[in-house]
């Protein structure tokens, strides 16, 4: 098992179109070893439908590029579908999400030491607890510090999937919630992942800056 450090930045945007429909968009970039080596980019968009105020289904598409020697050597095209349930536990918020991804790959590397799949399914289940710590402003009741704690497990399926277990993310995320529209999370992600080598795993200590921006366009209708 190898251990590395990674640095991620990601921006998430939600636009409420109506009481039921929400537009979803996020994008990010990833490095390792102190921002010295580019590893990946991701761009993802989708649309969500709220069955109830606490239960939402969504579908969308993501494009991921993996870097090698300073250039993109492998593309991934990823349709996805998900269901998300948010449940209050007193003052603590509980969020659960189950996502299915269909992953199509395009290899641009001229040399590869491994047989890489062209397609596989991936399933993801995350659970996250939002624990309010304290309010930051008497005049702004939504301005507060929140501690998000959670875990997400990924596993593969399909004829070309060589490993059932893909990865696990343990999340510790102090979050500055500035208002209802904007929050900034300084996240530590301890990621344990399988590799193309049999019985060889990669442990990553990831510093992850997450920016979330929510807009409500339904009020203008």
Boundaries of domain holding 52: 2-220
| pLDDT one-digit tens code per residue, 117-157 | 899 999 999 999 999 999 999 888 889 999 999 999 999 99
Reported pTM: 0.93
Collapse the DSSP code of 144 into the 3-class scheme (helix H, G, I; strand E, B; otherwise coil) and give the result: strand
Q: How confident is the model over 75-113, as pLDDT tens digits?
A: 999 999 999 999 999 999 999 999 999 999 998 776 555
Cβ contact 219:19 at 8 Å: no
Quick one: pLDDT at residue 217? 87
| pLDDT value for 196 | 80
* CA gap 94, 104 in Å, rounded: 32
Q: What is the pLDDT of residue 141?
A: 87
Number of domains in the chain: 1
Q: Where are the beta strands (DSSP E) in the chain?
A: 2-16, 21-32, 37-52, 55-68, 71-89, 92-107, 119-135, 144-157, 165-177, 182-194, 201-216
Q: Give the pair of three-digit tokens for residue 110.
A: 């001229």
Taking only the tens place, the pLDDT of each residue in 8-60 is 999 999 999 999 999 999 999 999 999 999 999 999 999 999 999 999 999 99
Question: What is the structure's pLDDT at 38?
Answer: 97
Question: How many whole angstroms separate alpha carbon 173 and alpha carbon 192?
Answer: 17
**In whole angstroms, what is the distance from residue 18 CA to residue 220 CA?**
10
CATH no. for residue 125?
Answer: 2.40.160.40
Distance CA 79, CA 104 (A): 9
């Amino acid at each position: 098992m190898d251990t590395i450090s990674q640095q991620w930045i990601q921006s998430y945007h939600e636009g409420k179109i109506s009481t039921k429909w929400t537009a979803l968009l996020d994008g990010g970039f990833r490095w390792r070893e102190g921002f010295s080596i580019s590893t990946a980019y991701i761009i993802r968009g989708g649309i969500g439908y709220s069955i109830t105020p606490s239960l939402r289904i969504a579908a969308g598409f993501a494009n991921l590029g993996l870097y090698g020697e300073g250039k993109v050597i492998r593309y991934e095209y990823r349709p996805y579908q998900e269901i998300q349930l948010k449940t209050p536990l007193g003052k603590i918020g509980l969020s659960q999400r189950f996502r299915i991804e269909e992953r199509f790959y395009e290899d641009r590397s001229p040399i590869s030491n491994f047989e890489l799949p062209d397609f596989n399914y991936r399933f993801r289940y995350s659970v996250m607890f939002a624990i309010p710590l304290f309010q930051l402003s008497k005049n702004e009741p939504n301005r507060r510090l929140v501690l998000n704690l959670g875990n997400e497990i990924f596993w593969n399926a399909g004829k070309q999937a060589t490993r059932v277990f893909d990865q696990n993310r343990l999340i510790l995320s102090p979050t500055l919630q500035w208002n209802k529209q904007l929050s900034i999370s300084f996240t530590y992600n301890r990621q344990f992942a399988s590799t193309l080598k049999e019985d060889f795993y990669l442990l990553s200590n990831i510093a992850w800056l997450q920016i979330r921006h929510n807009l409500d366009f339904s009020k203008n209708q």
